[in-house]
């Protein structure tokens, strides 16, 4: 399977059919952006729609908003 086929196939499955690291990498390559692990559990429908070209990528603010506020810690690094 190619990268796109891996991402689309696995996204349609309820059970993991390949190592998660391969699935994660395929999604990032196809979508052309970082995919945060919590998105797989909290935004599966959104990721699937994005893979199918039916939805735009969420903003970082929208991705962070998926996390419970009491469990969210954001660390910003300026590259120094």
The tokens 């991402």 sit on which residue?
Answer: 7
- Tens of pLDDT along 29-48? 999 999 999 999 999 999 99
The pair of three-digit structure tokens given for residue 3, joined into one six-digit string: 């990268």
The pair of three-digit structure tokens given for residue 2, joined into one six-digit string: 């190619």
5 confidence band (pLDDT: 50, 70, 90): very high
Closest CA to 27 of 11, 14, 38, 43: 11
Q: Does residue 80 surpass a pLDDT of 70?
A: no
CB 14 within 8 A of CB 43: no
Q: Residue 73: its pLDDT value, please?
A: 81
Q: Does residue 79 surpass a pLDDT of 90?
A: no
d(CA 60, CA 67): 12
pTM for this structure?
0.83
CB 18 within 8 A of CB 6: yes
Give the residue, 47 or 68, on which the prediction is more confident: 47
């Amino acid at each position: 399977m190619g990268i796109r086929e891996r991402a689309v196939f696995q996204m349609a499955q309820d059970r993991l059919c390949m190592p998660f690291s391969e699935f994660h990498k395929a999604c990032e390559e196809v979508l052309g952006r970082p995919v945060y692990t919590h998105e797989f559990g909290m935004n599966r429908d959104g990721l699937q729609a994005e893979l199918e070209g039916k939805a735009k990528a969420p903003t970082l603010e929208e991705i962070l908003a998926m996390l419970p506020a009491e469990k969210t810690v954001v660390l910003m690094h300026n590259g120094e």
